[in-house]
Amino acid sequence: MASPPLICPSILASDFAKLGEEVAAIEAAGADWVHVDVMDGHFVPNITIGPDVVKALRPHTTLPFDVHLMVAPVDPWLEAYRAAGADVLSVHPESGPHLHRTLGRIRQLGAKAGVVLNPGTPLSVLDEVIDLVDLVLLMSVNPGFGGQSFIDSALRKIERTRALLDAAGSKAHLQVDGGVTALNAGACVAAGADALVAGTAVFKGGPACYAANIAGLKGVAA
Protein backbone atom coordinates (compact mmCIF):
# COMPACT_ATOMS: atom_id res chain seq x y z
CA MET A 1 0.00 0.00 0.00
CA ALA A 2 1.22 3.52 -0.81
CA SER A 3 2.36 5.64 2.14
CA PRO A 4 0.02 8.45 3.24
CA PRO A 5 0.28 11.56 1.07
CA LEU A 6 1.50 14.93 2.27
CA ILE A 7 -1.57 17.03 3.05
CA CYS A 8 -1.28 20.64 1.98
CA PRO A 9 -4.30 22.63 3.14
CA SER A 10 -5.10 25.60 0.90
CA ILE A 11 -5.64 28.57 3.19
CA LEU A 12 -7.85 30.05 0.50
CA ALA A 13 -10.66 28.17 2.25
CA SER A 14 -9.71 29.35 5.76
CA ASP A 15 -11.11 32.28 7.74
CA PHE A 16 -9.14 35.24 6.36
CA ALA A 17 -9.93 37.26 9.49
CA LYS A 18 -7.96 34.69 11.54
CA LEU A 19 -5.20 33.54 9.21
CA GLY A 20 -2.50 33.21 11.88
CA GLU A 21 -4.73 31.05 14.06
CA GLU A 22 -5.82 29.02 11.06
CA VAL A 23 -2.27 28.01 10.03
CA ALA A 24 -1.43 27.13 13.64
CA ALA A 25 -4.61 25.04 13.84
CA ILE A 26 -3.88 23.03 10.70
CA GLU A 27 -0.34 22.37 11.91
CA ALA A 28 -1.73 21.04 15.21
CA ALA A 29 -4.23 18.96 13.22
CA GLY A 30 -1.53 17.13 11.25
CA ALA A 31 -1.05 19.13 8.06
CA ASP A 32 2.31 18.71 6.28
CA TRP A 33 2.62 21.89 4.19
CA VAL A 34 0.67 25.16 4.03
CA HIS A 35 -0.58 25.76 0.46
CA VAL A 36 -0.80 29.45 -0.38
CA ASP A 37 -2.80 30.34 -3.50
CA VAL A 38 -1.57 33.60 -4.98
CA MET A 39 -3.92 35.11 -7.57
CA ASP A 40 -3.51 38.38 -9.43
CA GLY A 41 -6.90 39.09 -11.05
CA HIS A 42 -5.19 38.81 -14.45
CA PHE A 43 -3.75 35.32 -14.91
CA VAL A 44 -6.79 34.05 -13.02
CA PRO A 45 -10.05 35.88 -12.29
CA ASN A 46 -9.51 36.39 -8.55
CA ILE A 47 -7.18 38.32 -6.22
CA THR A 48 -5.80 36.79 -3.05
CA ILE A 49 -2.58 36.84 -1.05
CA GLY A 50 0.38 39.22 -1.37
CA PRO A 51 3.91 38.63 -0.03
CA ASP A 52 3.29 40.78 3.06
CA VAL A 53 0.56 38.40 4.17
CA VAL A 54 2.90 35.42 3.74
CA LYS A 55 5.53 37.26 5.77
CA ALA A 56 3.02 37.99 8.53
CA LEU A 57 2.03 34.30 8.66
CA ARG A 58 5.57 32.94 8.80
CA PRO A 59 5.94 33.14 12.63
CA HIS A 60 2.64 31.30 13.17
CA THR A 61 3.79 27.86 11.95
CA THR A 62 6.94 25.82 11.35
CA LEU A 63 5.37 24.02 8.36
CA PRO A 64 6.81 24.61 4.89
CA PHE A 65 5.00 27.27 2.84
CA ASP A 66 4.01 25.86 -0.54
CA VAL A 67 3.26 28.91 -2.66
CA HIS A 68 1.24 28.41 -5.84
CA LEU A 69 1.76 31.47 -8.01
CA MET A 70 -1.13 32.25 -10.36
CA VAL A 71 0.42 35.52 -11.45
CA ALA A 72 1.63 36.78 -14.83
CA PRO A 73 4.30 37.82 -15.41
CA VAL A 74 5.57 35.69 -12.51
CA ASP A 75 9.32 36.39 -12.55
CA PRO A 76 9.17 39.78 -10.77
CA TRP A 77 7.47 38.15 -7.75
CA LEU A 78 9.74 35.18 -7.04
CA GLU A 79 12.16 37.01 -4.79
CA ALA A 80 9.47 38.73 -2.72
CA TYR A 81 7.64 35.49 -1.93
CA ARG A 82 10.90 33.68 -1.16
CA ALA A 83 11.96 36.51 1.16
CA ALA A 84 8.54 36.34 2.81
CA GLY A 85 9.16 32.71 3.74
CA ALA A 86 8.10 30.52 0.82
CA ASP A 87 9.80 27.09 0.76
CA VAL A 88 8.24 25.88 -2.49
CA LEU A 89 7.47 28.22 -5.39
CA SER A 90 5.28 26.73 -8.11
CA VAL A 91 4.69 28.43 -11.44
CA HIS A 92 2.47 27.88 -14.46
CA PRO A 93 4.39 27.62 -17.76
CA GLU A 94 1.92 30.12 -19.24
CA SER A 95 2.93 32.78 -16.71
CA GLY A 96 6.23 33.73 -18.31
CA PRO A 97 8.14 33.29 -21.56
CA HIS A 98 11.17 31.43 -20.13
CA LEU A 99 10.16 28.51 -17.92
CA HIS A 100 13.68 27.09 -17.82
CA ARG A 101 15.09 30.39 -16.54
CA THR A 102 12.26 30.82 -14.03
CA LEU A 103 12.83 27.38 -12.49
CA GLY A 104 16.57 27.99 -12.31
CA ARG A 105 15.94 31.30 -10.58
CA ILE A 106 13.67 29.66 -7.98
CA ARG A 107 16.38 27.14 -7.10
CA GLN A 108 18.98 29.89 -7.06
CA LEU A 109 16.84 31.63 -4.44
CA GLY A 110 17.06 28.46 -2.35
CA ALA A 111 13.46 27.30 -2.79
CA LYS A 112 12.03 24.13 -4.29
CA ALA A 113 10.81 24.68 -7.84
CA GLY A 114 7.37 23.52 -8.92
CA VAL A 115 5.65 23.45 -12.31
CA VAL A 116 1.85 23.64 -12.38
CA LEU A 117 -0.13 22.09 -15.21
CA ASN A 118 -3.68 23.26 -15.86
CA PRO A 119 -6.22 20.69 -17.02
CA GLY A 120 -5.62 21.89 -20.60
CA THR A 121 -1.81 22.00 -20.39
CA PRO A 122 -0.01 19.00 -21.88
CA LEU A 123 2.54 16.97 -19.93
CA SER A 124 5.08 17.51 -22.69
CA VAL A 125 5.84 20.91 -21.10
CA LEU A 126 7.90 18.94 -18.59
CA ASP A 127 10.14 17.24 -21.13
CA GLU A 128 12.82 19.91 -21.37
CA VAL A 129 12.81 21.03 -17.73
CA ILE A 130 12.40 17.83 -15.74
CA ASP A 131 15.88 18.12 -14.19
CA LEU A 132 14.96 21.54 -12.78
CA VAL A 133 11.71 20.45 -11.16
CA ASP A 134 11.25 19.50 -7.48
CA LEU A 135 7.47 19.30 -7.70
CA VAL A 136 4.84 18.81 -10.39
CA LEU A 137 1.46 20.21 -9.45
CA LEU A 138 -1.42 18.85 -11.51
CA MET A 139 -4.55 20.98 -11.44
CA SER A 140 -7.72 18.94 -11.15
CA VAL A 141 -9.81 22.11 -11.62
CA ASN A 142 -9.22 25.24 -13.66
CA PRO A 143 -7.45 27.65 -11.32
CA GLY A 144 -9.05 30.73 -9.83
CA PHE A 145 -11.42 29.55 -7.12
CA GLY A 146 -11.75 27.06 -4.31
CA GLY A 147 -14.74 24.79 -3.95
CA GLN A 148 -14.88 23.48 -7.54
CA SER A 149 -15.49 19.85 -8.53
CA PHE A 150 -12.64 17.46 -9.26
CA ILE A 151 -12.19 16.83 -13.00
CA ASP A 152 -12.06 13.04 -13.28
CA SER A 153 -9.71 12.96 -16.25
CA ALA A 154 -7.03 14.22 -13.86
CA LEU A 155 -6.61 10.67 -12.54
CA ARG A 156 -5.29 9.38 -15.84
CA LYS A 157 -3.01 12.43 -16.06
CA ILE A 158 -1.63 11.63 -12.59
CA GLU A 159 -0.79 8.11 -13.80
CA ARG A 160 0.91 9.45 -16.91
CA THR A 161 2.89 11.99 -14.87
CA ARG A 162 3.98 9.31 -12.39
CA ALA A 163 5.22 7.20 -15.30
CA LEU A 164 7.06 10.18 -16.79
CA LEU A 165 8.76 11.06 -13.46
CA ASP A 166 9.76 7.45 -12.82
CA ALA A 167 11.12 7.03 -16.34
CA ALA A 168 13.20 10.19 -15.90
CA GLY A 169 14.46 9.02 -12.50
CA SER A 170 12.97 12.17 -10.99
CA LYS A 171 12.30 12.36 -7.26
CA ALA A 172 9.96 15.32 -7.73
CA HIS A 173 6.79 15.40 -5.69
CA LEU A 174 3.57 14.81 -7.60
CA GLN A 175 0.89 17.05 -6.11
CA VAL A 176 -2.78 17.36 -7.04
CA ASP A 177 -4.86 20.51 -6.51
CA GLY A 178 -8.56 21.21 -6.85
CA GLY A 179 -11.69 19.46 -5.64
CA VAL A 180 -9.71 16.90 -3.62
CA THR A 181 -11.87 15.22 -0.97
CA ALA A 182 -11.72 12.11 1.20
CA LEU A 183 -13.73 10.41 -1.56
CA ASN A 184 -11.15 10.87 -4.33
CA ALA A 185 -7.90 11.21 -2.31
CA GLY A 186 -7.27 7.45 -2.34
CA ALA A 187 -7.65 7.30 -6.11
CA CYS A 188 -5.18 10.18 -6.50
CA VAL A 189 -2.61 8.37 -4.36
CA ALA A 190 -3.21 5.06 -6.13
CA ALA A 191 -2.61 6.87 -9.43
CA GLY A 192 0.77 8.10 -8.15
CA ALA A 193 0.28 11.36 -6.26
CA ASP A 194 2.28 11.87 -3.06
CA ALA A 195 0.94 15.29 -2.05
CA LEU A 196 -2.64 16.54 -1.98
CA VAL A 197 -3.83 20.13 -1.81
CA ALA A 198 -7.24 20.55 -0.23
CA GLY A 199 -9.06 23.70 0.79
CA THR A 200 -12.74 23.02 1.31
CA ALA A 201 -12.16 19.44 2.46
CA VAL A 202 -9.76 20.54 5.24
CA PHE A 203 -11.48 23.69 6.52
CA LYS A 204 -15.10 22.50 6.44
CA GLY A 205 -16.70 22.43 9.88
CA GLY A 206 -14.16 24.75 11.52
CA PRO A 207 -11.13 24.03 13.73
CA ALA A 208 -12.75 21.22 15.72
CA CYS A 209 -12.96 19.20 12.49
CA TYR A 210 -9.48 19.83 11.02
CA ALA A 211 -7.76 16.75 12.48
CA ALA A 212 -10.51 14.40 11.29
CA ASN A 213 -10.65 16.11 7.90
CA ILE A 214 -6.88 15.73 7.40
CA ALA A 215 -6.91 12.14 8.63
CA GLY A 216 -9.72 11.38 6.18
CA LEU A 217 -7.61 12.74 3.32
CA LYS A 218 -4.62 10.67 4.43
CA GLY A 219 -6.86 7.62 4.52
CA VAL A 220 -6.24 6.95 8.20
CA ALA A 221 -8.46 7.26 11.29
CA ALA A 222 -8.15 10.51 13.29
Which positions from 34 through 93 interact with Zn ion, judged by CB under 5 A? 37, 68
Taking the least distance from each CB to ligand DX5, the nearer of 6 and 141 is: 141
Regarding 143 and contact with ligand DX5 (CB under 6 A), the answer is: yes
List, in sequence order, every residue forming a beta bridge with 90; answer none if it has no partner: 68, 114
**How would you list the strands of the sheet with 195-198, edge to edge?**
6-9, 195-198, 173-177, 135-139, 112-117, 88-91, 65-70, 34-39
Q: Which residue is nearest to ligand DX5 (CB)?
A: 199
Q: Which residue from 199, 213, 214, 217 is in contact with ligand DX5, where contact means CB under 6 A? A: 199
Task: Give the ranges where 29-153 is alpha helix by DSSP (H).
Answer: 51-57, 78-84, 99-108
Taking the least distance from each CB to ligand DX5, the nearer of 68 and 112 is: 68
Q: Which residue from 7, 12, 89, 189 is in contact with ligand DX5, where contact means CB under 6 A? A: 12
Q: Which residue is nearest to Zn ion (CB)?
A: 68
Q: How many CB atoms lie within 10 A of CB 52?
A: 10
Q: Which residue from 91, 188, 197, 217 is in contact with ligand DX5, where contact means CB under 6 A? A: 197
Regarding 146 and contact with ligand DX5 (CB under 6 A), the answer is: yes
Q: Which residue from 177, 191, 193, 196 is in contact with Zn ion, where contact means CB under 5 A? A: 177
List, in sequence order, every residue forming a beta bridge with 7; answer none if it has no partner: 196
Cα torsion 112, 73, 176, 221: sign: positive
Task: Report the distance separating Cα 210 and Cα 73, nearest Å.
Answer: 35
Q: What positions carry a catalytic annotation?
A: 37, 177
Regarding 93 and contact with ligand DX5 (CB under 6 A), the answer is: no
Q: Are 192 and 159 in contact (CB under 8 A)?
A: yes
Q: Are 75 and 96 in contact (CB under 8 A)?
A: yes
Residues in the site for ligand DX5, rule: CB under 6 A? 10, 12-13, 35, 37, 68, 141, 143-144, 146-148, 177-180, 197-201
